[in-house]
Amino acid sequence: MPSPSNAAGEPPEKAFDFGSEPADQRPSSGWKIGVALMALVVALQGAYWLRGIIAATFPATQSAILRVRRALGCTVPLPRQSDQLALESSDLQFEQFDRLSLTATVRNRAMIGQAYPSLLLTLTDERNRPIARRAIHPQEYPGVQPTGMAVIAAGSTLTAQVQIDGRLLGAAGYEVLVFYP
């Protein structure tokens, strides 16, 4: 029986030629530069995408991030994990002339700093039905300046005390929620 090489008409003494030994297989310097540039681009994109988390986690980077933000005209969204915020205490005092004073303490349970949250105050009647609702934003917290890169540090608390005009509402109770708009 003829061998497969004989069936194809090739002489049995001639073996298949794989060519000469390959030359040096190391990548050229052009490939190395291209890969390095691509890695740099990916790192810069990651830094841009995570700029808020980087600024909150590493406060030393804030000045550099602010300079880049001004140069590029972009914003730096600080972390906003509302599920990691806990309302530890709240107190609503009815003061003179139907003025209300709300004091709320919010704890950041996250491992990183977060943007200042807003508070949602709902005043209720005797049957616990809402009669008035108001969102209180960080810009309204006296003594707190939530500008730039200010955050509630990881594991720390924020105490906000806000004066509210509650004239003629006849509120009997209240509820406070912490949220990000």
pLDDT for the residue 25: 77
What are the DSSP calls for 86-148, one per residue?
Answer: EEEEEEEEEEGGGEEEEEEEEEE-SSS-BPPPEEEEEEE-TTS-EEEEEEE-GGGSTT----T
Contact 110, 157 (CB under 8 A): no
Report the amino acid identity of residue 42.
V
Q: Which residue has the tokens 């890169």?
A: 149
* Whether 37 and 88 share a structural domain: no
pLDDT for the residue 55: 80
Q: In what order do the strands lie in the sheet with 173-179?
A: 130-136, 118-124, 173-179
Looking at the predicted structure, is the pLDDT value of residue 96 above 80?
A: no
- Which residues are 99's β-sheet partners? 95, 165
CA atoms within 13 Å, Cβ hemisphere of 126: 1
What percentage of the chain exceeds 90 in pLDDT? 27
More confident residue, 7 or 69: 69
Q: Residue 24 falls within a domain, yes or no? A: no
Average pLDDT over residues 73-95: 87
CATH number reported for the structural domain that contains residue 141 in this entry: 2.70.50.60
Q: Residue 37 falls within a domain, yes or no? A: yes
pTM: 0.66
Give CA 39 to chain center in angstroms: 23
* Whether 158 and 86 share a structural domain: yes
Q: Which residue has the tokens 């550099």?
A: 64
CB-based burial of residue 102 (10 Å sphere; 0-12 exposed, 13-18 middle, 19+ buried)? buried
More confident residue, 110 or 149: 110
Give the total number of structural domains in the chain: 2
Q: Which helix (H) or strand (E) holds 178?
A: strand 173-179
Give pLDDT tens digits for 116-167: 999 999 988 888 899 889 999 988 888 776 666 678 888 999 998 888 876 6
Contact 109, 86 (CB under 8 A): yes
pLDDT for the residue 86: 94
Looking at the predicted structure, is the pLDDT value of residue 11 above 70?
A: no
Average pLDDT over residues 81-110: 88
- Which residues are 133's β-sheet partners? 122
Domain span at 92: 82-179
* Whether 129 and 59 share a structural domain: no
Q: Residue 21 falls within a domain, yes or no? A: no
* Whether 120 and 147 share a structural domain: yes
